[in-house]
């Protein structure tokens, strides 16, 4: 059903519609804002993943130390 959703023809059509709706002056602004938002989202995701990984490592170390203690 969704085969070829991101075909080049579809992307060109979306770009033309965006150009008509927003105009040539606002399109670069929108692109920059979208790029900035994506970068911030990726950064937040990476921070969250590294935080979870650090916490898991800490819990593993604590569990290891508890099993060694008499």
Residue 58 near residue 50 (C-beta atoms within 8 A):
no
Q: Specify the pTM.
A: 0.58
3-state SS, residue 3: coil
Give pLDDT tens digits for 5-25. Answer: 778 888 899 889 989 998 989
pLDDT at 61 over 80: yes
pLDDT at 60 over 60: yes
Where is pLDDT greater, at 68 or 26? 26
């Amino acid at each position: 059903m969704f085969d070829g959703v991101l075909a080049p023809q579809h992307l060109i059509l979306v770009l033309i519609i965006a150009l008509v709706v927003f105009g040539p002056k606002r399109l670069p602004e929108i692109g920059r804002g979208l790029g900035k938002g994506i970068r911030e989202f990726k950064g937040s995701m990476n921070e969250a993943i590294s935080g979870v990984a650090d916490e898991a490592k800490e819990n593993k170390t604590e569990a290891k130390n508890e099993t060694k203690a008499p």
